[in-house]
Amino acid sequence: MTASNQQVVIIDTGCANVSSVRFAIERLGYAVTVSKDPDVVLAADKLFLPGVGTASEAMKNLEERDLINLVKQVDKPLLGICLGMQLLGELSEEQGQSGTEQVNCLGLCGAPVKKMQTGELPLPHMGWNTVTAEQDHPLFKDIPAGSYFYFVHSYAMPVFDKPEAGRTIASCEYGQPFTAAVQSGNYYGVQFHPERSSKAGSQLIKNFLEM
């Protein structure tokens, strides 16, 4: 499907600065709509779920905007970015400043999101790091092994592989291994920021749009 006849939608979660993701997509020649309208979202060919802030705040925003069930109804490829990827998981330990309980997330892939155990290394995990991708996965097509991507996070999914509940398609090491990219059916997620990851990140967004 070419750029000209593909409907690309960034889901308007109300808590994400979508401009950098939008510009990264537009640079590849695609028109982009930012929307939370169910008709627009469900008619899209490709969707992006960006996220910034905390999981508790983001899930609250999704609930207030009636987006939880809507995201679960999507049957086209959807890419969660950073916190957007974490929201695809079962639950998150990230409560923000005051919380002590875990946050229920969308439950679209079968892994929890936990605070990273990094030993002597500082949190957040911030800056450039390499990922090890599943061989021949279309999301990482034409991206050289050892490519660097840009990360900013303190919570992560463990590396996992569950029939019917998704799997890690790329891992990264920071203190210990964690999931850098995930797939569960038509839902994909990347822990890094492809829109800030230079040439490799642009190639990944292009791959997703061409899948």
Single pTM value for the model: 0.96
CA distance linking residue 94 with residue 113, whole number of Å: 8
Return the active site residues.
82, 193, 195
- 94: phi then psi, degrees, rounded to nearest 5: -85, 105
Q: How does pLDDT run along the chain (211 residues), one tens digit per residue?
A: 667 689 999 999 987 779 999 999 999 999 999 999 999 999 999 999 998 889 999 999 999 999 999 999 999 999 999 999 999 999 999 976 555 679 999 999 999 999 999 999 999 999 999 999 999 999 999 999 999 999 999 999 999 999 999 999 999 999 999 999 999 999 999 999 999 999 999 999 999 999 9
Distances (CA, A) of 11 to 17, 54, 70, 81, 194: 11, 17, 10, 11, 17
CA distance linking residue 155 with residue 96, whole number of Å: 11
